[in-house]
Amino acid sequence: MAAETPPGLHILLHQQVKEHTPTLISSHADRDRVIEVFRHALLKTGPPESFALQAVQEAIKPQKQTVLVQDENQSLENALRTLLQELVSSAVRSGERMMQYGQSVDEDESIRGQIPQFLDIVLHLCERGHIEGGMIFQLLEDLTEMSTMKDCKEIFGYIESKQDILGKQELFGRGKLVMLRTCNQLLRRLSKANDVVFCGRILMFLAHFFPLSERSAVNIKGVFNTTIETKYEKDAPDGISVDFNFYKTFWSLQDHFNNPIPTTLPPPQWKKFGSNLTVVLDTFEAQPLSDDDGNTNHLHQEEEDAAFNTKYLTSSNLMGLELKDPSFRRHILLQCLILFDFLKTPGKNDKDGSSESMKEEIKSFEERVKKLLEVIPPKGKEFLQSIEHILEREKNWVWWKRDGCPAFEKQPIERKIGQEGVKKRKARWRLGNKELSQLWKWADQNPNALTDPRRVRMPSVTEYWKPLGEDMDVSAGIEAEYNHKNNRVYCWKGLRFSARQDLEGFSRFTDHGIEGVVPPELLPPEVRSKFHTKAGDRSKRTKKEEVKGVATHPEDNQVASATVENDGIGSGAELEDGVAPMDSDALAGEVQKQSPDTDSIHEAGQSEADGVDNDTKTDTKMEVDASDINSKEANPTSRNRDSND
């Protein structure tokens, strides 16, 4: 579209040109001339891009370089606002609709209304930057103020259609406050009972037009709308069928819901509210609703035909019927939950919040209200879950306002490119990154840092097991629950240290558990003998037990003792050959375990063993063994002395 504009002329804003003195548009004659130029532009067909800039050039005297300063913009704005007033006056005199004035449909072409055409021209000039961006918002505000509510609906339809263009950053920053003022004025003029749809359109437009973090759309101070007042009867009428005291108590709750800070937070007012609410909840609990009541009062009409009242009637004659209405009860109980949620929210100061006793009462009231909502038909549980979800999300909104309404939008991170579009080369580090390279540099400058004893190091086995050794000392008096052996991580690490540094101690874990792994030098003598007994001491103790068992049965174990002696001689010979001396101990243990009832079996086994030994030994050795046995049998005293030895 820029190619169609005449070359050599482009109007700039707020820039002074020293070589040229701007042409002022201040006289009434110049204003009338500007109005006449734009009147001719309204009669043209086609898109505004083809003739909008040409109209501005004619209005400001064609020159090679024309600049609009603040005074010139103000004069142009006055001329355009005057033209809009004349168009509105002409539409009113003709009796036509505001947005349809001047519209005609011919066989060849159709001409739009003059006011929409005029707004399109100004919007195009504002979008291109030829005139001030806030001028279109000012014209829309003037148009809504001069129109009836019937015409305002069509004007607002035009605003909705141009929402994307009006929301651009270059226009939004200059006209957002004017647009907010325009919408608020429309809302004040509308009826909240009869123009609900139009009010919703305006609110939806504001929600889309302004960003989510816009502070002007947030009630920062938490001011309550006290203009909505619930009026009810103060004196009992004649022939009332319900308890009038309950009627007054019930509707007095609306005063607390309307403005809870002065009517609820002070202790006397809270006590009054608590007593009134208790009466209402007791009545609801005493008169539960059945499923038939829920089906009778439920609206089965289509969604478009269903009508919902935004405010209930307060006549005392209707009190009995309203108490049987499930939606009426839900309405009152939901107000209670909203009030409780507000009172539980902490304020910016400690004085703004509720006291501890008040919080406990709020919790008990809240539980009762939720139980009542759950049993109200139809679908009481589903309704309560939805309300709890909504109130939970409302807390996020409250905390966001308390934090100052921070912006949700985040600007994208721009990648900085070096001069001439060449990216800077990344620095190469010696060890891959900056941190490791800096650490290595510090080590070069301070070589003692690696040998500092305060550095973390692996302890020795003796140092690590010292706490457990102190726990095993009975004289220390350490309770079992505080023993280090109950710490699984400590024991697991100690076993890993012992497996690497003390393999002998690690092998004792199988027999004695974790306490056997502790080095013996850390244990007291009485505990050390239990877990660290030498192999020679064990063999001597076994031999003494064996001899004691043989002396108890001298007659039954004669052959067995001879066999033991033979094995003793044989074991000595085997020790000389380098065989371990544990065979004699094992054999002595086997002899000690035998019972008198199995002596014959042992004698047979020993004879077989002697037969095997006789095959491997010389006849001379057999004669010496036999003579030794005979001499011991003939001399019992000698046999007893040998046993003692």
Mean pLDDT for the stretch of residues 437-464: 74
Mean pLDDT for the stretch of residues 194-219: 87
State the sign of the Cα–Cα–Cα–Cα dihedral 274, 280, 286, 289.
negative
d(CA 517, CA 462): 10
Mean pLDDT for the stretch of residues 387-411: 85
If you count DSSP H runs as helices and E runs as strands, how many of each does the chain have, helices first? 30, 4
Length of the chain: 645
d(CA 441, CA 422): 31
- Assess contact for 266 and 234: CB atoms under 8 A: no
Mean pLDDT of the chain: 75
| Higher-confidence position of 579 and 357 | 357
- Give me the amino acid identity at 194: N
Q: At 621, is the pLDDT very low, low, confident or very high (cuts 50, 70, 90)?
A: very low
**86 closest CA partner among 114, 112, 54:** 114
At residue 612, the pLDDT reads 37
d(CA 215, CA 405): 7
CA 238 to chain centre: 59
- Give me the amino acid identity at 490: Y
Q: At 432, is the pLDDT very low, low, confident or very high (cuts 50, 70, 90)?
A: confident
What dihedral do alpha carbons 87, 92, 96, 98 form, nearest 10°?
50
Judged by phi (left if over 0) then psi (alpha if -120 to 50, else beta), residue 421 lies in left
d(CA 175, CA 137): 6
- Assess contact for 376 and 325: CB atoms under 8 A: no
User: CA angle, corner 151, sides to 145 and 152, nearest 5?
Assistant: 50
Q: Is pLDDT at 470 greater than 50 in this prediction?
A: yes
Query: CB neighbours (10 Å) of residue 522?
Result: 19
| Higher-confidence position of 437 and 12 | 437
d(CA 11, CA 56): 9
Question: Where do we find the tokens 């076993």?
Answer: 495
| Higher-confidence position of 378 and 62 | 378
Q: Give the tokens for residue 485.
A: 């052996």
Of the listed ranges 347-356, 531-540, 611-620, the least confidently predicted one is 611-620
Q: Is pLDDT at 527 greater than 80 in this prediction?
A: yes
Task: Map 89-111 to HEC letters.
Answer: HHHHHHCCCHHHCCCEECCCCEE
d(CA 202, CA 182): 10
d(CA 71, CA 77): 10
d(CA 208, CA 600): 109
d(CA 76, CA 82): 10
- Assess contact for 155 and 99: CB atoms under 8 A: yes
38-52, 74-88, 363-377, 617-631: which is most confident:
363-377
Q: Is pLDDT at 606 greater than 60 in this prediction?
A: no
% of residues, the chain, pLDDT over 70: 67
% of residues, the chain, pLDDT over 90: 29
At residue 136, the pLDDT reads 94
Instruction: Classify each residue of 426-444 as buried b or exposed e, where b means 16 or more C-beta atoms within 10 Å of its C-beta.
Output: eeeeeeeeeeeeeeeeeee
Q: At 383, is the pLDDT very low, low, confident or very high (cuts 50, 70, 90)?
A: very high
Q: Give the tokens for residue 121.
A: 């021209």
d(CA 417, CA 303): 58
Question: Using one digit for the tens of pLDDT, what is the confidence trace for 336-368?
Answer: 999 999 888 876 555 556 788 899 999 999 999
Q: At 297, is the pLDDT very low, low, confident or very high (cuts 50, 70, 90)?
A: low
| Higher-confidence position of 576 and 194 | 194
Half-sphere exposure of 568 (CA within 13 A, CB side): 12
Query: CB neighbours (10 Å) of residue 267?
Result: 10
| Higher-confidence position of 258 and 559 | 258
Q: Is pLDDT at 632 greater than 70 in this prediction?
A: no
At residue 443, the pLDDT reads 65
Q: Is pLDDT at 290 greater than 80 in this prediction?
A: yes
Instruction: Classify each residue of 473-510 as buried b or exposed e, where b means 16 or more C-beta atoms within 10 Å of its C-beta.
Output: eeeeeeeeeeebbeeeebbeebeebbeeebeebbebbe
Beta bridge partners, 78, equal none
d(CA 336, CA 371): 13
Residues 6+ apart with CB under 8 A from 132: 13, 73, 77, 126, 174
What is the pairing mode between strands 110-111 and 12-13?
Answer: unpaired
Q: Is pLDDT at 371 greater than 90 in this prediction?
A: yes
Question: Where do we find the tokens 């309203």?
Answer: 322
Q: What is the DSSP string of 250-279?
A: HHHHHHHHH-HHHHHSSHHHHHHHHHHHHH
Q: Is pLDDT at 146 greater than 60 in this prediction?
A: yes
Q: Give the tokens for residue 261.
A: 């800070």
Question: Where do we find the tokens 């009026």?
Answer: 231
